[in-house]
Amino acid sequence: MDSVQPKPKNVFRIIDRETKKAVGSYSRGYHNEVDFDSVARARTANCHGMFENDEKYAIAQYRVYYVLINPDVKDASKTGGENRDQDN
């Protein structure tokens, strides 16, 4: 890995045990925040304490890797910018 590349990062997500889907927490600064840097921050993301319910919400740990997709993007419309979060 190139030394200027960010190292893999661990993030934590709130998972609804019933639907098995990630649940975002609204914040003014980040709008819907999904990734948290610790279990404690994920559990306390809602001011009403709703994510502290272990029976309803699980906290999943992910490792995020950075993958170079295009080293010199000139025009997003030519590189599939509208689908930038999806693998081709």
29: domain range?
9-69
Tell me if 54 is assigned to some domain.
yes
Tell me if 76 is assigned to some domain.
no
Number of domains in the chain: 1
Tell me if 1 is assigned to some domain.
no
pLDDT confidence tier of residue 77, bands split at 50, 70 and 90? low
Please answer whether residues 46 and 53 qualify as being in contact, where contact means their C-beta atoms are separated by less than 8 angstroms: no
Q: Report which of residues 30 and 86 the model is more confident about.
A: 30
78 pLDDT exceeds 70?
Answer: no
CA distance 38 to 30: 16
pTM: 0.67
In single-letter form, the type of residue at position 11 comes to V
Tell me if 30 is assigned to some domain.
yes
Tell me if 82 is assigned to some domain.
no
Cα atoms in the Cβ-side hemisphere of radius 13 Å centred on 76: 5
Q: What are residue 27's DSSP bridge partners?
A: 31
CA distance 57 to 84: 29
Tell me if 87 is assigned to some domain.
no
